[in-house]
Structure 1
Amino acid sequence: MAGVGHMEEEAWKRKERLKSLKRKQNHTDDNGADKDAPGDITEEPKESLPKPVFRSYKPQDESLKEAVLPKIKPADVTEKIQSHLEASKTEHVLDEVDLVNLAPRKPDWDLKRDVSKKLAKLERRTQRAIVELIRERLKTGGEDLALMVNASQADRPSDDDDD
């Protein structure tokens, strides 16, 4: 039971500390007298209440009408709008339109892009195969190389014949 008495004593000390803190907070000394007003014991410090501000409410009481904010008229923005409209007008017009940029891409453009590396590799192989075929033909035919080249150029249509 000694523990219970000890706890009561601690609670009593805690209450005394709280009372002293309240007195310090209220600016009173240990006698209960106010430090600012030494003769007045019953007077408590007044708390300042927030003053209401009325933005959209019109109070009926005369004392509250002082807290009404004056009505504010919106600023005239027509000059700003006119300056923005004038700044946005463009006087130059494009004479020519690039049709490549306007035309939609073909549906297979991405496939061609992805396959272009493989096609380049196949083109090189095709050229090598053609060269090998020509060499074999020259070996088996036994004809003169100059005659073969001249004959192949004579078979091709020239660009000058289109006149």
Structure 2
Amino acid sequence: MEQSVGSLQEQALKRKERLKALRGRQLQGREPADGEPDRKRVADEAETEERHRELKLRNYVPEDEELKDRQMPKAKPASVEDKVKDQLEAANPEPVIEEVDLANLAPRKPDWDLKRDVAKKLEKLERRTQRAIAELIRERLKGSETELAGVVGAAGAEEGDSD
């Protein structure tokens, strides 16, 4: 769709007229627009009044007497020492309890209940094992006594021959 040069110029003129009307309304204190509802106009007017009331000059030192009333008092810097002290106190660890039972802290092994139940049976077996070991040692000693007597007798016989 091609538009002729004449229609484009007409559209540009209409835009310029709308912009002039808009600027005129802004300069004259916002006259009502054709399609604008009344409550929207009232809300916009209240907003602009609040903006003017909220004007506060923090860093700017005005020369005008009216603006000097809106100047904020100089802010005092916060005490850094107090903040640092608070942080240092927060960083200090609380004293740890001196006595710690490691048996309570250490996790139990998964077979601890089995060991507890089998402990009585193991005691009986341990006693039987000790008795069996003692009997074996006695038997060897009896057998070694006879061997010792034979060795001693043989040694005595050899001494008599060499004399």
Please, what TM-score do these two structures have when normalized by structure 1?
Answer: 0.29
Please, what TM-score do these two structures have when normalized by structure 2?
Answer: 0.29
Give the structure with the higher percent helix: 2
Q: Greater relative contact order (Cα 8 A, min sep 6): structure 1 or 2?
A: 2
